[in-house]
Structure 1
Amino acid sequence: MNETRKSDKTRPESREDRLGKALRANLARRKAQARARADHKEGGQAENSAPESEE
C-alpha cells in the first residue's frame, strides 16, 4: 500500500512539456533575430538616407 512516488523534480518531463519549452525558446530566438535585423536595417538606412553631393 505504501507506494514510493518520485518527486516532480526527478520525474522526466512529458513530451508536451519538452515541446512547449522548445517552442518558447525558438520564439525568443526568432524575436531576437528580428530585433537585430531591424536594428541593422535602421542603421543602414540612416547612413544611406543623406543626400549625395552632386559634382
Structure 2
Amino acid sequence: MTDKKSPSGGKRQATTREDRLKAALKANLARRKAQSRARSASDTPRDGEGETPRTAGNED
C-alpha cells in the first residue's frame, strides 16, 4: 500500500498539470474574448439600423 514515486516523475507530472491548466486558461480567455466581440458587434447599430428618422410621426 505504499506508493513508489520516482523523484523525476512528480516533477514531470506537476509540469504537465500546469501545462494543461495553462492551455485551458488560454482557451477560456480566447472564448470569452470572442463572445465579448460578438456581443459588442451585435449591440452597435450598423449604418442607419436602430435609428429612428427625425421626421417619423411628425407629419404636420
Give the TM-score band, short-chain normalised.
Answer: 0.5 to 0.7
- Any gaps of 5 or more consecutive residues in structure 1? 1-9
* Mapping 1:1-55, distance limit 5 Å: 10=2, 12-50=4-42, 51-52=44-45, 53=50
Give the greater-gyration-radius structure (CA).
Answer: 2
Alignment RMSD (CA, Å): 2.2
Identity %: 17
- Any gaps of 5 or more consecutive residues in structure 2? 53-60
- How does the TM-score come out when normalised to structure 1? 0.67
Greater relative contact order (CA < 8 Å, ≥ 6 in sequence): 2
- Count of residue pairs the alignment pairs up: 47
